[in-house]
Structure 1
Amino acid sequence: MEAGESNSGNERRIISKDSSWCSQFRNASNPWMARYAYALIFLVANLLAWAARDYGRGALTEMKRFKGCNGGKDCLDAEGVLRVSLGCFIFYIIMFLSTARTSKLNNLRDTWHSGWWSVKIALWVVTTAIPFLLPTEFIQIYGEVAHFGAGVFLLIQLISIISFITWLNECSESEKFASRCRIHVMFFATTAYVVCLMGIILMYIWYSPKPSCLLNIFFITWTLVLLQLMTSVSLHPKVDAGILTPGLMGLYVVFLCWCAIRSEPAGGNCIRKSDSATKTDWLSIISFVVAILAIVIATFSTGIDSKCFQFRKDDTAPAEDDVPYGYGFFHFVFATGAMYFAMLLIGWNSHHSMRKWTIDVGWTSTWVKIVNEWLAVCVYLWMLIAPIIWKNRQTGST
């Protein structure tokens, strides 16, 4: 009898624990775990947009039932991507407006951000379906606005990356770690410069095999000049920012240059591609999957880095009931990320047809990456020079 009562008590405790966990997930889950749920929704939206572009004509025949699809043909290809993107954007904008300026845990907006998943999943389904009811003229307008929104996302991501590199350098030069990290800093900086130079040499070999490849030669050579410029400014006695930050920024800049050249459409003699480049192979599929995951990871990591956009740094320790990250900023990044993945899937051109299992290919994509590279260097140099200019102005005014 006692054993039966003991087993029954254990079962009750397990049921109580499970029901408590379910209640927590439904109403007030952990805000750190909530990030992954939002990233999963974002990943599913990316996959839906890709399916609408590559396989919409065979799988979306039921689209003729939607009034805005004009018999189904206006909900496929690039326009299908824009419709899915618009639905994702609406969902995260609603979350942004409803969670902005949330500062404390366990209040209504924190509960909404971290829980109530059944309601939010239903909301996401509704917001995904609504754009398929809209006329094609409205979707084309959204496509134009998405260019700006994707640019905002790239700018936010750029500032986040530069802030992380700067923070890493400041941490290594602090009194606590300066003596222990000196050798490590030199090792990582040297490795970064070696990788940069190797990348530039390989790009010359692969993407400018002929003297007639003037555009690629210009892109690669200008990247080398920018790397030298960042190093010179960083090592200037008045700046004295060390050698680690320009090395890491050099990796980022060389990577952007490589991505830009890789985005050039096939058919030219300046990019060595196999004869089967027009066909889908396993390498194209792997590259596509990696690119989709990279979009989600980049959006996720940028969304939780709201502190790098604070103009006034607060050194006070956060209270126990403070939110661990900015909820509003997190959802805003995902909203602009929805526009960004749409631009990648359509090559930044709603009238450009993309081959299956390709992403971010076309001359528009190439120039977007090149401009992003140049902008990255400008922002980095400004972050180095701005404190000196501000100090000189203050000295001159006094």
Structure 2
Amino acid sequence: MGACMALCSLASCASCLCGSAPCLLCGCCPSSNNSTVTRLVFSFFLLLGTFVSIIMILPGMETQLRKIPGFCQGGTTIPGIENQVNCDVIVGYKSVYRMCFAMACFFFLFSVIMIRVRSSKDPRAAIQNGFWFFKFLILVGITVGAFFIPDGTFHDVWFYFGIVGSFMFIIIQLILLIDFAHSWNEVWVRNAEEGNSKCWFAGLLIFTVLHYALAFAAVVLFYVYYTKPDECAEHKVFISLNLIFSVVVSVVSILPKVQDASPQSGLLQSSLITLYTMYVTWSAMTNNPNRNCNPSLLSLVSNVSTSEPSPTIAPGQVQWWDAQGIVGLVIFLFCTLYASIRSSSNTQVNKLMQTEEGSGSGGSGEVGEDGLRRAVDNEEEGVTYSYSFFHFHLFLASLYIMMTLTNWYKPDTTTQAMQSSMPAVWVKICSSWLGLGLYLWTLVAPLILTNRDFS
């Protein structure tokens, strides 16, 4: 409950930041485009919900709540009489499922409402860019309602929603990384042409080599620790195929015809995509129920082997703070913030992300009659991003966070524990293959569709 109060106070700051459309900016806030500030505040809502979810799965949280006189009760109901609540529900994976369910419902609702908004002149654009306090109240209301959901089959059903949504979000993550790599390469090459070319080209070379070196080192470690001579056949296939596919897209990116059609393509992008592919491969293998093929990092460091058939988590206990979960959260944070401020000039990526080439986020603030600065309304002629798709992206991000914080473990309603599952493995591996396919498409599309302008 304290976390909810913290959420409320922080969101009230957000409502102070942006009270109506166009968004009012505090004196300490830099001038910006209305579209950018709106995306940042919605992302702030998502990150706030993530923070609350993390608090609810911290070690000892349930013990601390039980110290409050008359606060916790037993049983299976969520709230009871005399202001008592079931602490097994508001902590652990159950709280993560309910909090992320609320965020997913919130963003999906706005995704439906904002379908086919073309410019800020549409009345629905005022809802998108303002009324933050009321939107926060809606989110809180859905969250409170989510904690009234009875256990039943809720966790099993929502687990599969999380699997599908996370699959789609991993693809979006890779698209954003493609966009980031293209922008990175374009800016550094332009700086090299305008200034000290040796330094900029040396920087490109260093990062490209670093990415490939880390990816190669990861492949070697995968073969050493995540495969066995007589078992782990799936892991051997996953590692080998993703290594081959990464080599293929790297070679394609520097072919003369591809370079002529897409001068912005290069090894920097391919190296970053290769490294991300190896991360997804590792993340998938850590969800294998076969403990012999999925050693914990602690056992790798201490040389202790175990023959447990499947890693499980006790009732109400979720331990997401392993290396895979932490890296996943870091990548999630980067992609969420990047999606909020991005203004890409890459046509292919813009089509995949349902956005348009923007004018950037550095507009000059307008001063109203009341003396307060206002964000620049840069969408009077047309939106710079799809409102509906942006909310759908946050909807998928909510599901991805739910799966990440619960280690992609499947709830077991009979034992009230969490278990690894092969569906999570296949979802991640298939998403890595589809992501590589999308990157390959951004390279070869100008050669195949010669009648289109990809400049």
Task: Tell me the TM-score normalized by structure 2.
Answer: 0.64
SS in 2 for 1:253: helix
Q: Which moved more, 1:258-267 or 1:195-204?
A: 258-267
- Residue matched to 1:64: 77
Does the aligned pair in 2 maintain the 1:208–1:271 contact within 8 Å?
A: no
Shift of 1:137: 5.3
The structure-2 alpha-carbon separation of the partners of 1:112 and 1:218, relative to structure 1 and needing over 3 Å to count, comes to: same
Of 140, 145, 162, 1:130 maps to 145
User: Could you list the per-position Cα deviations for residues 342-370 of structure 1 after superposition, in whole angstroms to 9, with x for gaps in the alignment?
Assistant: 233442634488979xxx95433322222
CA–CA distance in 1 between the matches of 2:251 and 2:277? 16
Does the aligned pair in 1 maintain the 2:111–2:387 contact within 8 Å?
A: yes
- Residue matched to 1:340: 400
Q: How does 1:73-88 map to 2 (within 5 A)?
A: 80-88=95-103
Does the aligned pair in 1 maintain the 2:101–2:146 contact within 8 Å?
A: yes
Q: Which amino acid letter does the alignment assign opposite residue 389 of structure 1?
A: I
Shift of 1:128: 0.9
- Residue matched to 2:287: 263
CA–CA distance in 2 between the matches of 1:284 and 1:150? 16
Q: Which moved more, 1:55-64 or 1:327-336?
A: 55-64
Shift of 1:138: 6.5
- The size of the alignment, in residue pairs, is 365
Shift of 1:230: 1.6
Q: Which moved more, 1:285-294 or 1:221-230?
A: 285-294
Does the aligned pair in 2 maintain the 1:302–1:333 contact within 8 Å?
A: no
CA–CA distance in 2 between the matches of 1:177 and 1:297? 29
User: Could you list the per-position Cα deviations for residues 235-286 of structure 1 after superposition, in whole angstroms to 9, with x for gaps in the alignment?
Assistant: 3232234332222221122222222223334731663642599899xx9747
Q: Which moved more, 1:38-47 or 1:50-59?
A: 50-59
Percent of pairs with identical residues: 21
Q: How does 1:132-281 map to 2 (within 5 A)?
A: 132-134=147-149, 136=152, 141-173=157-189, 177=193, 180=197, 181-208=200-227, 210=229, 212-240=231-259, 241-265=265-289, 267-268=291-292, 271=295, 273-274=298-299, 275=304
Larger RCO, structures 1/2 (Cα 8 Å, 6+ apart):
2
The structure-2 alpha-carbon separation of the partners of 1:169 and 1:112, relative to structure 1 and needing over 3 Å to count, comes to: same
Does the aligned pair in 1 maintain the 2:288–2:422 contact within 8 Å?
A: yes
The structure-2 alpha-carbon separation of the partners of 1:221 and 1:143, relative to structure 1 and needing over 3 Å to count, comes to: closer
Q: Which amino acid letter does the alignment assign opposite residue 194 of structure 1?
A: A
CA–CA distance in 2 between the matches of 1:313 and 1:131? 32
Q: How does 1:280-291 map to 2 (within 5 A)?
A: 285=321, 287=323, 288=325, 291=328
User: Could you list the per-position Cα deviations for residues 292-313 of structure 1 after superposition, in whole angstroms to 9, with x for gaps in the alignment?
Assistant: 4543443333355485333799
Does the aligned pair in 1 maintain the 2:320–2:405 contact within 8 Å?
A: no
The structure-2 alpha-carbon separation of the partners of 1:120 and 1:175, relative to structure 1 and needing over 3 Å to count, comes to: closer
User: Could you list the per-position Cα deviations for residues 328-354 of structure 1 after superposition, in whole angstroms to 9, with x for gaps in the alignment?
Assistant: 433221112112222334426344889
Extract unaligned runs of 5+ from structure 2: 1-13, 26-33, 66-71, 260-264, 364-375
Does the aligned pair in 1 maintain the 2:105–2:395 contact within 8 Å?
A: yes
Of 351, 356, 361, 1:310 maps to 351
Q: Which amino acid letter does the alignment assign opposite residue 184 of structure 2?
A: L
Does the aligned pair in 2 maintain the 1:165–1:248 contact within 8 Å?
A: yes
- Residue matched to 2:30: none
Q: Which moved more, 1:377-386 or 1:254-263?
A: 254-263
Q: Which moved more, 1:217-226 or 1:207-216?
A: 207-216
Shift of 1:72: 6.0
Q: Which amino acid letter does the alignment assign opposite residue 309 of structure 1?
A: N
Q: Which amino acid letter does the alignment assign opposite residue 168 of structure 1?
A: W
- Residue matched to 1:90: 105
Q: Which amino acid letter does the alignment assign opposite residue 207 of structure 2?
A: F
Extract unaligned runs of 5+ from structure 1: 1-20
Q: Which moved more, 1:115-124 or 1:26-35?
A: 26-35
SS in 1 for 2:256: coil
Q: Which moved more, 1:131-140 or 1:329-338?
A: 131-140
The structure-2 alpha-carbon separation of the partners of 1:108 and 1:223, relative to structure 1 and needing over 3 Å to count, comes to: same
SS in 1 for 2:291: coil
SS in 2 for 1:239: helix
Note the aligned Cα RMSD (angstroms).
Answer: 4.4
CA–CA distance in 2 between the matches of 1:284 and 1:151? 19
User: Which has the higher Rg, Structure 1 or Structure 2?
Assistant: 1
User: Could you list the per-position Cα deviations for residues 3-32 of structure 1 after superposition, in whole angstroms to 9, with x for gaps in the alignment?
Assistant: xxxxxxxxxxxxxxxxxx986643333454
Does the aligned pair in 2 maintain the 1:306–1:330 contact within 8 Å?
A: no
User: Could you list the per-position Cα deviations for residues 110-166 of structure 1 after superposition, in whole angstroms to 9, with x for gaps in the alignment?
Assistant: 554444333222211111122344464567555444433333222222222223323
Shift of 1:86: 2.1
CA–CA distance in 2 between the matches of 1:326 and 1:306? 13
Q: Which amino acid letter does the alignment assign opposite residue 350 of structure 2?
A: F
Task: Tell me the TM-score normalized by structure 1.
Answer: 0.71
The structure-2 alpha-carbon separation of the partners of 1:128 and 1:110, relative to structure 1 and needing over 3 Å to count, comes to: same
The structure-2 alpha-carbon separation of the partners of 1:150 and 1:61, relative to structure 1 and needing over 3 Å to count, comes to: farther
Does the aligned pair in 2 maintain the 1:303–1:334 contact within 8 Å?
A: no
CA–CA distance in 1 between the matches of 2:334 and 2:154? 30
Q: Which amino acid letter does the alignment assign opposite residue 43 of structure 1?
A: L
